[in-house]
């Protein structure tokens, strides 16, 4: 498959068109960012590691029946993916209080929640990804109500699957962000599944093993 021009330059990934209009190449880079790109650095081998983690974790969720955009791994840092229209709503699932949630509600970091909590955020760097509810998301035309229900339900399945995977490796999944895309009337889990979009703590010591270390 022939790789073409770059379609999108993200904080840590690049998207390229191919000679198949239904496929794109997702390339992971060594760039690390925080605070919506205010802080950045190059971390050697980060792209390869995140590509490998994403490939493995998408396989884990696929085994649970979750449809996703990854078609094949092309190289150590590149994935062939279905071309999707990204839903401009990010889903965050939380198992413990941390980050903005702790600050918003005055809850000590690490407090275990009574049940996994699903939150929705507008995907917008310019607005600093504000929290949004279902009614506002529908009113603004960001997503349909049935899509939001699907995103929430699927994200809980994905989160449970990944929490089990990480627990088997002595790591606790604290919270994670999930993104979805539209393709031919379907909703697919998209983007990446890496420590860039999740909080991961050592299950015994509580040591942070994710991007919070960089922040």
Residue 77 sits in the same domain as residue 140: no
Q: How much of the chain exceeds pLDDT 90, in percent?
A: 89
Q: Which two tokens stand for residue 64?
A: 């649970």
Q: Is residue 162 domain-shared with residue 204, that is, in the same domain?
A: yes
pLDDT for residue 39: 76
Structure-block tokens of residue 71: 């078609």
Token pair for 208: 């942070």
Model confidence, pTM: 0.94
Residue 203 near residue 167, CB atoms below 8 Å: yes
The CATH number of residue 117's host domain is: 3.30.470.20
> Residue 195: exposed, middle, or buried by beta-carbon count in 10 A (0-12, 13-18, 19+)?
buried
Shortest CA distance to 158 belongs to which of 136, 177, 131, 139? 177
Q: How many domains does the chain have?
A: 2
- Determine the structural domain holding residue 10 and report its residue range: 3-82
Whole-angstrom Cα distance, residue 52 to residue 82? 18
Banded model confidence at residue 38, pLDDT cuts 50, 70, 90: low
Same domain, 92 and 14: no
Q: What is the pLDDT of residue 145?
A: 98
Q: Which of 57, 82, 107 is the last residue of a domain?
A: 82
Q: How many CB atoms lie within 10 A of CB 177?
A: 20
Residue 21 confidence class, pLDDT cut points 50, 70, 90: very high
Token digits for 180?
Answer: 């979805």
Residue 57 sits in the same domain as residue 119: no
For the stretch 112-130, pLDDT in tens is 999 999 999 999 999 999 9
Question: Residue 188 pairs with which residues in a beta bridge?
Answer: 181
Instruction: Output the CA–CA distances (angstroms, integers) from residue 2 to 5, 23, 178, in the order listed.
Output: 10, 10, 29
Q: Quick one: 102 and 194 in the same domain?
A: yes
Residue pLDDT, tens place only, 65-93: 999 999 999 999 999 999 999 999 999 99
- pLDDT per residue over 132-187, tens digit each? 999 999 999 999 999 999 999 999 999 999 999 999 999 999 999 999 999 999 99
Same domain (yes/no): 63, 139: no
Work out the number of other CB atoms within 10 angstroms of the CB of residue 199: 22
Pair type for strands 70-73 and 89-96? unpaired
Of 114, 34, 46, the C-alpha closest to 77 is: 46
The two beta strands, 171-183 and 85-86, are antiparallel
Note the pLDDT of residue 175: 98
Q: Could you tell me the pLDDT band of residue 94, with boundaries at 50, 70 and 90?
A: very high
pLDDT score for 187:
99
Closest CA relative to residue 29, chosen from 77, 67, 70, 65: 77
Q: What is the mean pLDDT of residues 96-100?
A: 96
Residues 96 and 187 in one domain: yes
What average pLDDT is seen over the chain? 95
Q: Domain of 34: which CATH number?
A: 3.30.200.20
Domain's final residue, options 55, 82, 109:
82
């Amino acid at each position: 498959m022939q790789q073409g021009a770059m379609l999108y330059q993200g904080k840590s990934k690049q998207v390229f068109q191919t000679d198949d209009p239904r496929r794109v190449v997702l390339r992971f880079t060594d760039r690390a960012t925080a605070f919506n790109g205010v802080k950045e650095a190059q971390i050697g081998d980060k792209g390869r590691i995140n590509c490998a983690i994403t490939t493995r974790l998408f396989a884990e969720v696929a085994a649970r029946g979750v449809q996703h955009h990854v078609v094949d791994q092309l190289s150590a840092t590149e994935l062939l993916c279905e071309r999707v229209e990204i839903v401009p709503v990010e889903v965050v699932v939380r198992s413990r209080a941390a980050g903005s949630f702790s600050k918003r509600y005055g809850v000590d970091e690490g407090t275990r929640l009574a049940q996994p909590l699903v939150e929705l955020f507008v995907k917008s760097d310019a607005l600093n990804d504000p929290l949004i509810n279902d009614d506002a998301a529908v009113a603004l035309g960001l997503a349909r109500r049935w899509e939001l229900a699907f995103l929430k339900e699927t994200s809980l399945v994905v989160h449970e699957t990944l929490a089990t995977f990480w627990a088997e490796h002595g790591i606790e999944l604290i919270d994670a962000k999930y993104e979805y895309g539209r393709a031919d009337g379907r909703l697919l889990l998209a983007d990446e599944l890496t420590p860039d979009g999740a909080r991961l703590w050592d299950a015994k010591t509580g040591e942070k093993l994710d991007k919070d270390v960089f922040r």
